[in-house]
Amino acid sequence: MSTSYPTAGASAQAVPGERWIDLRSDTVTQPSAAMRDAMYAAPVGDDVYGDDPTVNALQDYAAAQFGYEAALFAASGTQTNLIALLAHCGRGDEYIVGQEAHTYKYEGGGAAVLGSIQPQPLLNRADGSIALEDIEAAIKPRDVHFARSKLLALENTIGGRVLPRDYVARATTLAHDRGLNTHLDGARICNAAVKQGISLREAVQGFDSVSVCLSKGLGAPVGSVLCGSKELIEDAKRWRKMVGGGMRQAGVIAAAGLYALQNNVQRLAEDHDNAAWLAAELAKTGAIQVSQPQTNILFVTLPREAGEGLNKALAAERIRVSMAPTLRIVTHLDVNRQDLQRVAAVITEYFK
């Protein structure tokens, strides 16, 4: 799930072949030569008929890695989240979700617009979690006056923050005890698993479904997978078709996602280390407030008068970042430590 922000260098004229250090998001990654080779060599078929062998291989591999019965390949994380909500909930049902969650805030209100599903947004705490007492209080009694509470939807990571494992266990247990299903927006769940040193299966325990983005830190050019029970995935297939997500010879892009899951999960630790290094370097300026990143996303609070000037200084050095509402920097596989040294030097020099 990608989010748009005003960007340093966005108005600069691109020059063919000119390399920018792009820290706007981990969605900007380019497929590697090995990934492109896998895409070129992928055997394909018609996925709407279910006979694209590469799509099927990706779905089987994802389901096995995350510990579910089945999986479904779709064009984007927004789409896998949407079809999950549509499969879990009916018209007039409600899903409980954080106010900062991508499914609620950044996906165009799709669940409400297309599914007549009412969101019940709750406050996200500083660590990204929702207080258990708030979840408990939000679950509606079975009464004709209320929407039917059907689903708890969490996000991990959320704003780069990793939800504590004990919290996830308690939240999903609470939901199940109260008759709710659970869905995880796991756009960056692989980052969470690597940070916590646990398996992908362990990272999604307690969730009836999970959406996993392949085009962020994992480096694929497009795509997401939804994992769940066989019954849920069959329902999701129908919803995917209905919202225009039925693809034909999709193995060409599924091959990139399969390569990403097989090769690029553990290397996320490098992105985490780079983000921590950059945060420490920027904090040395003393003129700005820098968050301590848990994974690959860090935020910098700037003096109000500094934004425009810093924007120009970064663009002049072919550096792109997200500038609002705070400076947002995301490390990824196409950015190395030398690149970040250059970024740190430009920002440090500006605040001298």
pLDDT of residue 201: 98
Are 180 and 244 contained in the same domain? yes
Q: Do the domain assignments include residue 3? A: no
Q: Indicate whether 251 and 334 sit together in one domain.
A: no
Based on the fold, state whether residues 156 and 286 are members of the same structural domain.
no
Name the domain boundary from 213, 236, 263. Answer: 263
pLDDT of residue 68: 98
| 255 and 285 in a common domain | no
Distance between CA atoms of 62 and 200, rounded to whole angstroms?
10
Q: According to the model, what pLDDT value does residue 305 have?
A: 79
Do 275 and 321 lie in one domain? The reply is yes
Return the CA Rg of the chain: 21
Q: Coil, helix or strand for 23?
A: coil
Is pLDDT above 80 for 8? no
Amino acid at 15: V
From 209, 237, 263, give the residue that closes a domain: 263
Q: Tell me, yes or no, whether 251 and 314 share the same domain.
A: no
State yes or no: pLDDT of 258 exceeds 70.
yes
**Is residue 143 located within the same domain as residue 245?**
yes
The two tokens of residue 93 are 């049902």
CATH number of the domain encompassing residue 148: 3.40.640.10
**CATH number of residue 344's parent domain:** 3.90.1150.10
Residue 304: predicted pLDDT? 79
pLDDT of residue 323: 82
In Å, how far are 7, 145, 158, 273 from 191, measured between CA atoms?
Answer: 24, 41, 11, 12
**Three-state DSSP state, 317:** coil
User: Of 263, 289, 318, which residue constitutes the final position of a domain?
Assistant: 263
From 2-11, 257-266, 272-281, the region with the lowest mean pLDDT: 2-11
**Helix 268-283 with 337-350: angle, nearest 10 deg:** 20
If pLDDT is split at 50, 70 and 90, which confidence band does 17 have? low
How far is residue 1's CA from residue 308's CA, in Å, rounded to a whole number? 27
Least confident of 33-37, 81-85, 182-186, 321-325: 321-325
Whether the predicted pLDDT of 233 surpasses 80: yes
Q: How far is CA 198 from the centre of its chain?
A: 18
Q: Are strands 224-228 and 70-74 parallel, antiparallel or unpaired?
A: antiparallel
The fraction of the chain above a pLDDT of 90, given in percent, is: 89
Q: Is the pLDDT higher at 266 or at 1? A: 266
- 176 pLDDT above the threshold of 90: yes
Residue 15 lies in a domain: no
Strands 319-320 and 21-22: parallel
**Nearest Cα to 349, choosing from 289, 295, 284?**
284
Q: How confident is the model at residue 18 (pLDDT cuts 50, 70, 90)?
A: confident
Q: What is the mean pLDDT of residues 162-176?
A: 98
Please count the structural domains in the chain: 2
Judge whether 331 lies within some domain: yes
CA atoms of 39 and 23, how far apart (whole Å): 26
Label residues 273-295 b or e (16+ Cβ within 10 Å = b).
ebbbbbbebbeebeebebbebbb
Q: What is the mean pLDDT of the chain?
A: 94
pTM for the whole thing?
A: 0.93
- Tell me, yes or no, whether 258 and 296 share the same domain: no
Average pLDDT over residues 238-249: 96
Is residue 326's pLDDT more than 50?
yes
Q: Which of 333, 324, 334, 331 is nearest to 3 (CA)?
A: 324
190 with 299, same domain?
Answer: no
Q: Specify if 324 maps to a domain.
A: yes
Residues whose CB falls within 8 Å of the CB of residue 238, separated by 6 or more in sequence, listed in order: none
Give me the domain span that covers residue 38: 33-263
Answer yes or no: do 91 and 230 share one domain. Answer: yes
What pLDDT digit, counting tens, does each position of 191-222 carry? 999 999 999 999 999 999 999 999 999 999 99
Burial class (CB in 10 A: 0-12, 13-18, 19+), 187: buried
Report pLDDT for 3.
44
Q: Does residue 13 sit within a domain?
A: no
Contact 35, 43 (CB under 8 A): no
User: Are 59 and 206 contained in the same domain?
Assistant: yes
What is residue 15's predicted lDDT score, i.e. its pLDDT?
Answer: 55
DSSP output for 249-272: STHHHHHHHHHHHHHSSTTHHHHH
For residue 6, being part of any structural domain is answered with: no
Percent above pLDDT 70 for the chain: 95
Q: Does residue 8 sit within a domain?
A: no
For 134-154, write each residue's pLDDT tens digit.
999 999 999 999 999 999 999
**pLDDT in the model for residue 66:** 98
Predicted local distance difference test score (pLDDT) of residue 154:
98
Q: Exposed e or buried b for every residue in 49-59, given b needs 16+ CB within 10 A?
A: eeebebbbbbb
Tens digits of per-residue pLDDT, 82-118?
999 999 999 999 999 999 999 999 999 999 999 999 9
Query: Which DSSP category does 123 fall into?
Result: -
What was the pLDDT predicted at 16? Answer: 55
Residues 115 and 176 in one domain: yes
Q: What is the pLDDT of residue 307?
A: 76
132 in a structural domain: yes
